[in-house]
Structure 1
Amino acid sequence: MKVLIAGASVAGPSLAFWLARYGAEVTVLEQAAELRKGGQLVDVRGSARGVLARAGLAETVAAACTASDGLSFVDSGGRRLATLSVADFGGDGPVTDTEILRGRLSEIFHEETRDSAEYLFGDRIAGLADGPGGVRVTFEKAAARTYDVVIGADGLHSGVRKLAFGPDAPPLRHLGAYLSFWTAENHLGLRDWTEAYSEPGRTMGMRTIHGNSAVMAFMSFTSAEFRYDYRELESLKAVLRARAAGMGWECDRLIEQIDQAPDFYFDSCSQVRLPRWSVGNVGLVGDAAYCASPLSGHGTTIALVGAYVLAGELAKAGADHQAGLAAYERTLKPWIDEIQEFGAGNGKAMTPETALGVWLRNNVSRLRRFLPRGLFAGEIRMSNRFVLPDYSRYESAQTH
């Protein structure tokens, strides 16, 4: 099976990892000139930990994780109003025990696959023609090639999704909020901790990274959908400054550092909800197929699990690639639907729109550790609900 994967963030290299195990000939295409090593902290939850264990990478990822003991909501003077410990939720709460910089997780899978998959950087797909002989792919720079299967792992703004679905592609589902991340100084001297401050309709905070030598600053704000280009960073920085104006706590000091940050990120909190995840022999995985938004806290989790299931179902289906794509969707979609519904409602907890909402969020969080754990176990159960199928019988003899 000859497979082209567009996108080398997390879903793409992890899909390459599993496909190579099943003996596929894999090419990973990345628009950037090199692997993107920046990015925000991401969580690996529940069933995705099982994927890492089956890949033999659990210890490697654990060693690269950013230590995080918990989260505090603070007032404008920095006084901690409510504290949530990682230990209170078995590692699957608002802050998990497996947090890692997105770029570092990408690097780990790239290191594992660079000898078993071909990586093409600095190019993108210009056209797809799916026919009886396979999918003919034209590139902006490289010569055209033909593949049995093409998979878009190219994120929320997927170019493969647009090519595959054309004008029938549904618009992104805006969840009423925008989110930004950037690296900043750890001027408060936090250690393995997250602090967040909220005012009505906006939240800013910081998580320690790089052995507590820096923080990943973040800001979210509620807003109706507006037009923007996610690649126009200077314009987006101006938006962020305007939205943060007048905020208390440490917000001015964090905002002052966005121009120096090498990894400034801004995008809408939006979901991808498609009538199907594939068209012919062209499929999608991760955010390109079923982005649940950062508000779900499960973006990386469903990318890792999705890549595992997609590779396994393609291997299981043999030469009938479309049957494999359909089985992947059928197997995974009920769990994805649940996570997307959770993500659609979780933004109100992160960024309450009213002063009363901020007060309620802080006080419920303060009392949460003293109440029966079962009252708040829904998210933990959801993270672990998907049972990983066993595809080990399809592994190539060369992988042993």
Structure 2
Amino acid sequence: MTPRSVLISGAGVAGPTLAYWLARHGFRPTVVEKSRDLRSSGSPVDVRGAALPVVDAMGLLPRLRASATSATVVRVLNASGREVARVRMPAGRGRSDGGEVELPRGDLAAVLYEAAREDAEFLFDDGIASLRQDEHGVDVAFERAAPRRFDLVIGADGLHSTVRRLAFGPECAFVRPTGLFVATAPLGEPVEDPQEVVLYNAPGRLVSIHPSRDRALTAFIFRRPDITSFDHRDTDLHRRIVTESHAGLGWRVPDLLERLRHTDDLYFDAVSLVDLPTWANGRTALLGDAASCVSLLGDGSSLATAGAHTLAEALAAHPADPATALRRYESAHRTRVTPKQRGITRAAALLVPATRLGLATRNLAARLRPGGL
């Protein structure tokens, strides 16, 4: 029997993981990615929970630990730079043999890509222009490559998924902004202590410096419920939003905003929830943030990795019945995603308290509780 052809849109975390496991099960995966190469920016992410046995089975855990960050402590500062709380990060991170790994998102994506590239076709600097499916397959028109037909199409192309838009409907029907925004950029200089994440809060705003691994990152996370829509491709607009939202803050914020104005490596987006009644439409399905974004506190990469493995196993178990395979994948993976989505409000309240009282209460709890929040 000829192996089934599967087109995967997106070469981030979920896409290469899915391609790796599909190839192991005799499928022929093709991954299409709009960028010219792998994205190197973004905040550090965690590999934990159900994702750990997946990367371990891929033989990648030693490489991920070698790329791990070395941060062990979060220092919370006030506007004058004085420490007001200290939070220990979970044990087992970094280069130990513990239960999770924190590493730069770009490093995770690069390791997954290298694991998959020998057995999967990758098309960079291209995208999907249109999809037309029937009961036997999907005809795909690309922006650059010649049209092709695939047995299945999987959208692993993030919050602003092209596959979701083409096969399920407009983004506004499924994406629910939380009122939070996040921006990250390289710091551009070494940090004083590579084991410390430094965090400064004002009501509704957070600014942090993370030592990352080979280059430190600065992050801005803030509440702007008045912004209900924006062009996610307009970098100049993103700079203005971040600058306006943090005007007048103390600590190192003015200097960090000046650096942000001149960086060529700015990531910016709304923290959003993606909620669809189903992740499959015929022979097209969604994976990772495209299906169920939980873009806060680094859980997205772990969920994407675990979801990719679950999808590949379901397709391998039902190679002649993709409808059953996609239902079983969704049923299993929703049990992981739903609690994370329900907890995002509490996570946001802890990370970016909206009021001075909330901020003082959070800092007091961090000081009094062993190990921090």
Asked if these proteins are the same fold (TM beyond 0.5), I'd say yes
Q: CA–CA distance in 2 between the matches of 1:361 and 1:299?
A: 24
Q: Deviations over 1:273-326 (max 9, x none)?
A: 1000110010010000000122x5311110010101011111111211121111
Q: CA–CA distance in 2 between the matches of 1:167 and 1:240?
A: 27
Native 8 Å contact 2:183 2:266 kept in 1: yes
Matches within 5 A, 1:1-400: 1-87=4-90, 91=93, 98-167=101-170, 170-186=173-189, 189-211=192-214, 214-224=215-225, 225-294=227-296, 296-369=297-370
What is the SS of the residue equivalent to 1:34? coil
CA distance 1:260–1:117, change in 2 (3 Å): same
Superposition deviation, residue 77 in structure 1 = 2.0
What is the SS of the residue equivalent to 1:209? coil
What is the SS of the residue equivalent to 2:236? helix
Native 8 Å contact 2:160 2:171 kept in 1: no
Moved over 2 A (4+): 37-40, 89-92, 166-171, 185-188, 259-263
Q: Deviations over 1:23-76 (max 9, x none)?
A: 110100001122222322111122211211121111111111111112111112
Superposition deviation, residue 91 in structure 1 = 5.0
Superposition deviation, residue 167 in structure 1 = 5.0
Q: Which moved further from structure 2: 302-311 or 201-210? A: 201-210
CA distance 1:30–1:246, change in 2 (3 Å): same
- Structure 1 residues without counterparts, runs of 5 or longer: 377-400
- Which of the two has greater helix per residue? 1
Identical pairs, percent:
36
Superposition deviation, residue 185 in structure 1 = 3.4
Q: CA–CA distance in 1 between the matches of 2:371 and 2:23?
A: 47
CA distance 1:168–1:270, change in 2 (3 Å): closer
- Structure 2 residues without counterparts, runs of 5 or longer: none
Native 8 Å contact 1:186 1:208 kept in 2: no
Q: Which moved further from structure 2: 130-139 or 239-248? A: 130-139
What is the SS of the residue equivalent to 1:258? helix
Q: Deviations over 1:169-227 (max 9, x none)?
A: 7231111211111111346512221011111111111100234xx42101111121432
Native 8 Å contact 1:28 1:118 kept in 2: yes
Native 8 Å contact 2:128 2:141 kept in 1: yes
**How many residues in Structure 1 have an aligned counterpart in Structure 2?**
365
Q: CA–CA distance in 2 between the matches of 1:192 and 1:233?
A: 31
Superposition deviation, residue 127 in structure 1 = 1.1
What is the SS of the residue equivalent to 1:29? strand
User: What is the TM-score of this pair, normalised by structure 2?
Assistant: 0.93
Q: CA–CA distance in 2 between the matches of 1:68 and 1:97?
A: 13
Q: Deviations over 1:235-266 (max 9, x none)?
A: 11011111111111111111111134342111
What is the SS of the residue equivalent to 1:369? coil
Partner of 1:380: none
Q: CA–CA distance in 1 between the matches of 2:327 and 2:251?
A: 50
Native 8 Å contact 1:183 1:262 kept in 2: no
Q: CA–CA distance in 2 between the matches of 1:169 and 1:200?
A: 28
